[in-house]
Amino acid sequence: MALPVRESHLYIGVSNRVRYTIYMTKQTILTGIRSNEEPTIANYLGAFVPMVRMQQELAGEYQINMFVPDLHSFTTPVDHDDLYAKTLMNLKYFIAAGLDIDDQDTYIYRQSYIPAHSELTWVLDCFTYVGEMSRMTQFKDKSGENSDSITMGLYNYPVLMAADILLYGATYVPVGEDQFQHLEITRDIASRFNNKFGDVFTVPLDTKAQTSFINRDSGLRIRSLSDPTKKMSKSATDEKSKILLSDSPEVAKQKIMSATTDSVGEIHYNFETQPGISSLLQMYALLTGRKQEEVNAQWEGKSQYGEFKAVVASAVADFLEHFQARLAAISDEELLAKLERSERAMTEVANQTLLRAQQAVGLRPRA
Ligand code: ATP
Ligand code: MG
């Protein structure tokens, strides 16, 4: 029943006697691009840049599926009036960060445009236990006390994520620590299904193997500008704590100038004793592409915090100016054309897997 190789299944033609099919042997790396929140400069440095680097280094050898989990984006309340626009905008942020949409091995698609995600979720739901879902720590953390206002979507989130992964036979799913448990449940659901029905799904590698394959979360933690003992977070309500990629260069400059530092009086790169100054040194090195040691050596022991902040502020402003210019130059038509091409190709792949699952459970005749 199951096909032997299905990492990427490319159908190229039919004659009246022979159906030509090529099985590509490239393994698939699958990664989601968050869709509905305004990213910060920390998200840029900690997530966008490494993802673009991954594409540059691994496309060719691997197939890279980058999808926008738009179905996942309203498991907790959002403003639906601008969800669609924000979904496209977030993709543009990645492109402005250097993602190459012309790369032949990279597929960029929206989850909701491939109905198999929703359909497979239902099938998997019926092989997933309430007990195991109730143990998901992210659900427990986000759901709090009042279960009347918690949606089924939030509860079911990991099963949809399992469908996202299993539909494409993805082996590599580089996720941060907060998603480890969801990756493990994907492996559990897939193995359970395979044990019952035969080899229907490719089981993704475990989190240890994922971590050693791509260290996407390098541990970089740009600090909050108002409380540098905490990390910068896009969901923080204090606007002064974060630099949004949509901030004007002027506003960003002011935020850096008023960033909380310390009363040591000398500049040292030490996150324990001077987290504010150290985070600024780090941000400066990353944005200018200079070596950390070189930047540190230039400022080490100096007492001019104001002068130092002005230099960082101007590097941040320069970065935003260039970034925003690249953003404005992205063509909507080209982006939509890429999405539609990828969505067509990935619908084919996803439907093959869905059909195998449907045959397994008896919804379709077995071949
Ligand atoms: P939220 O406040 O909603 O949790 P966030 O800013 O922490 O938002 P996430 O959506 O949790 O962002 O994570 C998106 C990506 O950004 C992850 O890869 C994460 O490692 C990275 N990231 C988040 N915060 C930082 C930070 N302060 N420094 C570097 N990378 C970060
Ligand atoms: Mg976070």
Q: Report which residue type is found at 53.
A: R
Helical packing angle, 152-166 and 180-197, nearest 10°: 60
Helix, strand or coil, per DSSP, at residue 14 = strand
Rg of the chain over all Cα atoms, to the nearest angstrom: 23
* Spacing, Cα 259 to ligand 1 middle (Å): 19
Catalytic residue among 92, 196, 208, 231: 231
Hey, which of 38, 72, 233 would you mutate to test ligand 1's pocket, going by the most ligand atoms within 8 Å of its Cβ?
233
* Stretch 121-136: mean pLDDT: 96
Q: Where are the domains of the chain?
A: 10-219+331-361, 239-328
| pLDDT computed for residue 26 by the predictor | 92
Q: What is the pLDDT of residues 18-62, one digit of tens each?
A: 333 444 579 999 998 877 778 999 999 998 998 999 999 999 999
Query: Which of 214, 163, 215, 218 is CA-nearest to residue 29?
Result: 214
Sign of CA dihedral 240, 311, 228, 293: positive
Between the alpha carbon of residue 207 and those of residues 6, 120, 136, 184, 274, the distances in Å are 22, 23, 16, 7, 34
Percent of the chain with pLDDT over 70: 92
* Spacing, Cα 318 to ligand 1 middle (Å): 22
Q: What is the pLDDT of residues 197-243, one digit of tens each?
A: 999 999 999 998 988 887 655 679 999 999 999 999 998 999 999 99
Ligand 1 site residues (CB inside 6 A) read 34, 40, 42-43, 45-47, 176, 217, 220-222, 231-235
| pLDDT computed for residue 154 by the predictor | 93
Q: Tokens for 50, please give them.
A: 């490494």
Cβ(41)–Cβ(77) below 8 Å: no
Cβ(338)–Cβ(171) below 8 Å: no
Helix, strand or coil, per DSSP, at residue 91 = helix
Cβ(220)–Cβ(46) below 8 Å: yes
**CA-232 nearest atom, ligand 1:** 27
Q: Tokens for 116, please give them.
A: 């198999």
Two domains, one topology: 10-219+331-361 and 239-328:
no
- Percent helix, strand, coil in the chain, to 5, is 55, 10, 35
* Stretch 247-273: mean pLDDT: 98
* Spacing, Cα 233 to ligand 2 middle (Å): 6
Report the CATH fold assignment for 10-219+331-361.
Rossmann fold (3.40.50)
Query: Which of 53, 62, 41 is CA-nearest to residue 98?
Result: 53
| pLDDT computed for residue 355 by the predictor | 98
> pTM of the full predicted structure?
0.86
Distance CA 152, CA 32 (A): 21
**CA-220 nearest atom, ligand 1:** 29
Annotation says 231 is catalytic: yes
* Spacing, Cα 115 to ligand 1 middle (Å): 29
What does the mean pLDDT of the chain come to? 90
Is the confidence at residue 15, as pLDDT, over 80? no
| pLDDT computed for residue 2 by the predictor | 36
Q: State the CATH architecture for 239-328.
A: Orthogonal Bundle (1.10)
CA 99 to chain centre: 13
